[in-house]
Structure 1
């Protein structure tokens, strides 16, 4: 696995987008206590920061990231990815800062959905980097699906974790939000697993010179991803649906499990690189 920094960047950045969107939905639907939600939104920014840090390490020399901006002249996918990261990060930070400083409450209601939409745009910009016609195993809508599902699965679990930590300040609102986030995670997990099964069938039918699942422990990564994802989401969901929404330890394990699941899935994604010209 030679692309470990990119594995962490894509998974953590997409998870941060999912977490921010999940918290935004909680804010819009439940109107929870303001100060507690300030901390929750800051946690999503911290997760995004970890992802961005991982991306910088991939450059070898961090100052090279400024050279990437020259690609804007011809709309380089990598340059557009950085622009999208800046736009989402800037909008998410602006919204969080406005909340913390209690500036323009009415304007906050506009900035929040804009930041949520820019989060989706950012994920799609990451996808665009990998939709390469010369890479058979990446150039499909399954790449888009998988990257969006990382946000869809990890985001609600991460949001539920931070809200459980903040439960004393949120009161009954946290119980309702916890149950809703658990149901959302169950739905996105089901969609993700069904889609991954279809993706596996598609991979197996590629007119390629080797079996992607035979590359670099592909079967092990696949089993790990499915098992960890199911364990993580069910651990959170069973407690939430039983009304046991104050257990921070189990939520932390659920978060760790789903992040590890997505890291395993992304490692397989990179290791299943199949060039259109190699071996033909």
Structure 2
């Protein structure tokens, strides 16, 4: 599909923001210097993932060298321009924080920069959602678009953060186990919200005045949504159960769970982009 690069961009960018927010919260409440250094190094992964998502988005442009023209769109607050600038500002803020901690620059201001990066991360989530909340596409024009995009950040970001901490369980010791349990509790709550919200979203979608049943637009749509829910439930469920039962250092299981929830969100995003077929005038 033509929108496949955007599928990867939106899911990876949102998941990366979620990963960063979890790690940033751990940094905010942590006072141990050695743990802080280790958590700060993990933020390099955030920068790499954000770069990969940006590269995916660039492949969607017909002429990538004209991407700089996005700056001119800020004059009238173009949603696409705001999205791209939010991505750049978020990445710049994370990079600034990582550089400050690595070189020991202005230690008293580091937490302030970190808080600013967290705010820019939330802004990025909303900016991406705003691009697709279009009156010309009734299936997109609702708060459910924001709900799905924000939930992607937490669905992918929480188990991804747990995975990163589990790879360092030997160095982090009891701190990692306690953090893993806390993230599992948060993941359980998020899973509950998502498993209630997604069926409600599909119910709402069925009430929208559309030319055809969205689940029957393509033959694979029904299977795609079932796969999304199954992958999400199994992926999150395996990790949450392992964490709550004391298996807090098993890396392989958490990696498998993270991959499954990532695949779940990719399935959901493909379905979402297919709904642009219901745009007015098409």
TM-score, normalized by the shorter chain, greater than 0.5: yes
**Which segment is superposed worse, 133-142 or 268-277?**
268-277
Could you list the runs of 5+ residues in structure 1 that have no partner in the other structure? none
Deviation at 1:71, TM superposition (A): 1.2
User: 1:234 matched to which residue of 2?
Assistant: 237
Aligned to 2:12: 12
What residue is the counterpart of 2:189 in the other structure?
A: 187
Q: CA deviation at 1:94?
A: 1.0
Deviates more, 1:88-97 or 1:252-261: 88-97
The secondary structure found in structure 2 opposite 1:272 is helix
Two-structure CA RMSD over aligned residues (Å)? 1.3
Aligned to 1:26: 26
Distance in 1 between the 2:164 and 2:29 partners? 17
CA deviation vs aligned residue, 1:38-84 (integer Å, no higher than 9, x gap)? 22111122111111111111113321211222211221111111111
Separation in 2, partners of 1:51, 1:31: 32
Runs of 4+ in 1 over 4 A off after TM superposition: none
The answer on 1:52 being equivalent to 2:54 is yes
The verdict on how the C-alpha distance between 1:271 and 1:31 changes in structure 2, with shifts beyond 3 A counting, is: farther
Give the conservation status (yes or no) of the 8 Å contact 1:30–1:173.
no
Higher mean C-alpha displacement, 13-22 vs 161-170: 161-170
Question: 37, 42, 45: which one pairs with 1:43?
Answer: 45
SS across alignment from 2:29 = helix
Residue number among 78, 83, 86 corresponding to 2:85 in the alignment: 83
2:211 corresponds to: 209
1:189 and 1:93 map into 2 onto residues whose CA distance is 31
- List aligned pairs for 1:86-235, cutoff 5 A: 86-216=88-218, 217-235=220-238
**Contact 2:30–2:36 (CA<8 Å) still a contact in 1?**
no
Report the CA distance between 1:218 and its aligned residue.
Answer: 1.5
Question: Deviation at 1:132?
Answer: 0.9
Is the CA contact (8 Å cut-off) linking 1:40 and 1:159 kept in structure 2? no
Contact 1:30 1:177 in 2 (8 A): no
Deviations 1:120-147 (A, max 9, x none): 1001111111111110100100000000
State the number of aligned residues: 278
Q: Which consecutive residues of structure 2, in runs of 5 or more, have no partner in the other structure?
A: none
How far does residue 102 in structure 1 lie from its aligned partner after superposition? 2.6
Partners of 1:237 and 1:102 lie apart in 2 by 37
